[in-house]
């Protein structure tokens, strides 16, 4: 049986999320919001079976992502026999170990740190206690002292301000000259433009003198973890990133124990920034192929 891959659609997000809740391990890649945001950049398609949803990217190379569903209840040997493509990326660690025990197949995978998710303690990033967070807390205090700011949840009537901030941010950073930033900009625009149609979004924003200076877009990944998909701030406001990070977690995500801030995609600057917030662990992922033996 050949899988019938089709473009992603908003009408199927509820059905997809039912499969996602059955996954033994959920990384940031597989939330519907993330798939929808990046669908154009990776030319994503999906195929629904009775027990799994398969995800395929067609750009920049063709590969399968992790299937979504209850991995513990699958005859993987039969599944692999039905697949034309056995090249995989972004495979969560738990599924990688399950596949290691598939009769008739040998996984040729490598650990892929560029796609590891950074996991932090929500309470640590709210409190910013100790020497490890001294610089972050100092910048947060500077922002709070200097600016008379307002924090609020990002509602539909504020989306235009968020779009304006994102446009300005791209001008400051010359997004058109960076393939990576241009792709991220497209993903953010996809999310903001369909904001009211995406289920489960948790978001916040900072305003100073009626101007939005930062926003954060997130959602629950599971009952204990919130994942932050996008976080943008106006660079002319010193400490704005420390402020939106701390204020969002304190006001909109304090019911979670952990915050997933996604991967660094191998970018040295992004890796340094993510490490500076002192992750408590990583969600490891693997890439490679299944080889018939």
Lookup result for tokens 């969560």: 92
Structural domain includes residue 270: no
Q: Are residues 160 and 227 in the same domain?
A: yes
Q: Do 172 and 222 share a domain, yes or no?
A: yes
User: Are residues 98 and 51 both part of a single domain?
Assistant: yes
Q: Are residues 48 and 185 in the same domain?
A: no
Range of the domain at 134: 117-262
> Is pLDDT at 254 greater than 60 in this prediction?
yes
CB 57 within 8 A of CB 63: yes
Residue 277 in any domain: the answer is no
Whichever domain contains 82, its CATH number is: 3.40.630.30
Residues 78 and 44 in one domain: yes
Same domain, 128 and 234: yes
Indicate if the pLDDT at residue 43 is higher than 70. Answer: yes
Give dist(CA 115, CA 91) in Å, integer: 9
Interatomic CA distance for residues 114 and 186, integer angstroms: 21
Report the candidate in 118, 157, 113 with the shortest Cα–Cα distance to residue 245. 118
Shared-domain flag, residues 141 and 241: yes
Indicate if 40 and 151 belong to the same structural domain. Answer: no
Residue 55 lies in a domain: yes
For residue 267, being part of any structural domain is answered with no
Answer yes or no: is 71 within a domain: yes
Identify whether residues 20 and 123 lie together within a single domain: no
pLDDT higher than 70, residue 207: yes
**Number of folded domains in the chain?**
2
- Evaluate whether residue 98 is within a structural domain: yes
Domain membership flag for residue 271:
no
**Is residue 211 reached through a cis peptide bond, with omega within 30 degrees of 0 on the bond before it?**
no
Q: Which structure tokens are listed for 178? A: 């960076």
Instruction: Taking residues 27-32, report their average pLDDT.
Output: 98
Task: Give yes or no for residue 84 having a pLDDT over 90.
Answer: no
H runs (alpha helix) in 53-178 = 76-81, 93-99, 122-127, 134-146, 159-173
DSSP H helices in the chain: 13-20, 32-42, 76-81, 93-99, 122-127, 134-146, 159-173, 179-193, 240-252, 268-275
Do 107 and 179 lie in one domain? The reply is: no
For residue 18, being part of any structural domain is answered with yes
User: What is the average pLDDT across 179-203?
Assistant: 96
Q: Is the pLDDT of residue 270 over 70?
A: yes
Say if residue 1's pLDDT is above 60: no
The sign one gets for the Cα dihedral 49, 81, 94, 101 is positive
Instruction: Quote the pLDDT of residue 19.
Output: 98
Same domain, yes or no: 146 and 254: yes
Tell me the average pLDDT across 4-13.
97
Do 89 and 132 share a structural domain? no
Check residue 81 and give left, alpha or beta (phi > 0: left; psi -120 to 50: alpha). Answer: alpha
Distance CA 235, CA 222 (A): 32
Look at residue 158 in the predicted model and tell me its pLDDT. Answer: 95
CA pair distance 8, 157, nearest whole angstrom: 26
């Amino acid at each position: 049986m050949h899988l019938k891959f089709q473009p992603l659609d908003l009408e199927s997000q509820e059905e997809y999320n039912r499969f996602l809740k059955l996954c033994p391990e959920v990384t940031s890649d597989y939330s519907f919001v993330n798939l929808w945001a990046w669908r154009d950049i990776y030319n994503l398609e999906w195929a629904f079976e009775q027990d799994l949803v398969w995800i395929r990217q067609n750009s920049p190379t063709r590969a399968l992502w992790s299937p979504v569903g209850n991995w513990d209840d699958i005859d993987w040997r039969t599944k692999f026999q039905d697949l034309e493509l056995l090249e995989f990326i972004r495979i969560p660690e738990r599924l990688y170990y399950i596949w290691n025990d598939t009769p008739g197949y040998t996984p040729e995978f490598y650990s892929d740190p560029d796609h590891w998710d950074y996991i932090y303690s929500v309470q640590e990033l709210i409190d910013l206690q100790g020497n490890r967070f001294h610089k972050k807390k100092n910048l947060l205090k500077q922002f709070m002292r200097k600016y008379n700011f307002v924090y609020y949840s990002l509602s539909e009537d504020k989306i235009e301000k968020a779009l304006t901030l994102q446009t300005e941010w791209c001008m400051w950073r010359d997004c058109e000259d960076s393939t990576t930033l241009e792709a991220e900009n497209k993903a953010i625009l996809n999310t903001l433009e369909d904001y009211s149609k995406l289920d489960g979004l948790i978001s916040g924003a900072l305003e100073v003198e009626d101007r939005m200076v930062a926003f954060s877009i997130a959602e629950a990944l599971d009952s204990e973890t919130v994942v932050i998909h996008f976080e943008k701030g106006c660079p002319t406001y010193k400490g704005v990133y420390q402020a939106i990070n701390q204020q969002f977690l304190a006001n909109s995500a304090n019911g979670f124990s952990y915050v997933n801030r996604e991967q660094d995609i191998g970018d040295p600057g992004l890796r340094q920034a993510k490490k500076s917030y002192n992750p408590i662990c990583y969600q490891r992922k693997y890439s490679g192929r299944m080889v018939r033996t």
